Amino acid sequence: MSGVLFAYTTERQMKKLRAQVLRHLLYLNIRWYDKLESPQLSSRLTVDPIKAKDGWNITLVMTCSMSCMVISMGAMLKIMQKRAVHVQQMYAEAGAVAEETLGSIRTVSSLNAEKRAFHWSTCWLSMS
């Protein structure tokens, strides 16, 4: 029922729009008509209101799709922020291990623990 009423209302608006366009065309300067051919004028009088009638559909679809995109982008941004904080913490811990190892390289060398230190630092880097 609402679809029928909506279609009826739309057709009434298109009829009014065509009447306004025709009224406007009747009051235009004659030079304007010299630029257009008569078939082009009649097709514009018919097609342009139809385009206006279908324009609301595109607007509705774009409004829905844009709102979905904004919501998904917001969710993605929050996830990326959390992930960035996590990655930054992992790099800080890996950097601390590397700094400690490089700072005390003489001790590591004297204890022959190079392989263990290398394994420990690669484990930290692989987790990030």
- If one counts the domains in the chain, the total is 1
Percent of the chain past pLDDT 70, that is, above it, reads 72
Give one DSSP letter per residue of 41-84, joined into a string.
Answer: HHHHHHHHHHHHHHHHHHHHHHHHHHHHHHHHHHHHHHHHHHHH
pLDDT score at 49: 72
Range of the domain at 18: 2-127
- Predicted confidence at residue 127, as pLDDT, reads 65
Confidence tier at 114 by pLDDT (50, 70, 90) = low
* pLDDT tens, residue by residue, 44-82: 777 777 777 766 666 776 777 788 888 988 999 999 999
* pLDDT of res. 18: 80
Q: Tell if the pTM clears 0.85, that is, is over it.
A: no
